Amino acid sequence: MTKPAGVREAAIPALAEVFREHGYAGASLALLCARAGLGKGSLYHAFPGGKAEMAEAVLDAIGAWFEAELYAPLREEPDPHAAIGRMFHAVKGYFQSGRRACLVGAFALSDDRDRFATRIADYFRAWRDALADALRRAGRDDAAALAEDTVLAIQGGLVLARALDDPMVFGRLLARLETRLNG
Partner DNA sequence: CGCCCTCTGTACCGATCGGTACAGCGCCCA
Partner DNA sequence: TGGGCGCTGTACCGATCGGTACAGAGGGCG
- Shortest CB 124 distance to its own copies, Å: 5
Window 25-64: contact mask with its own copies (x via CB under 8 A): xx--------------------------------------
Which of 162, 74, 66, 47 has its CA nearest to residue 119? 66
Which of DNA, its own copies, none does residue 120 bind (CB under 5 to 8 Å by kind)? its own copies
Shortest spacing between CB 71 and DNA, in angstroms: 31
* 145 lies in the site for DNA, by CB under 7 A: no
Is the distance from CB of 26 to CB of 53 less than 8 angstroms?
no
Rounded to the nearest 5°, which phi and psi values hold at 78? -60, -40
**Phi, psi at 58, each rounded to 5°:** -65, -45
Selection from DNA, its own copies, none that 52 binds (CB < 5 to 8 A by kind) is DNA
Based on the number of CB atoms within 10 Å of its own CB, is 167 exposed (0-12), middle (13-18) or buried (19 or more)? middle
Return the sign of the alpha-carbon dihedral for residues 9, 13, 118, 88: positive
Binding-site partner at residue 50 among its own copies, DNA, none, CB < 5 to 8 Å by type: DNA
User: What's the CA gap between 134 and 84, in Å, rounded?
Assistant: 7
Give residues 25-84 in contact with DNA (rule: CB under 7 A). 27-31, 38-42, 44-46, 50-52
At residue 35, what are phi and psi to the nearest 5 degrees?
-65, -35
In the set 94, 159, 167, 171, which binds its own copies (CB under 8 A)?
159
171 CB burial (10 A radius; 0-12, 13-18, 19+): middle
Query: Which residues of this chain interact with DNA, rule CB under 7 A?
Result: 4, 6-7, 27-31, 38-42, 44-46, 50-52
**Which parts of this chain interact with its own copies (CB under 8 A)?**
21-26, 101-102, 104-106, 108-113, 117, 120-121, 123-125, 145, 148-149, 151-160, 162-165, 169, 172-173, 176
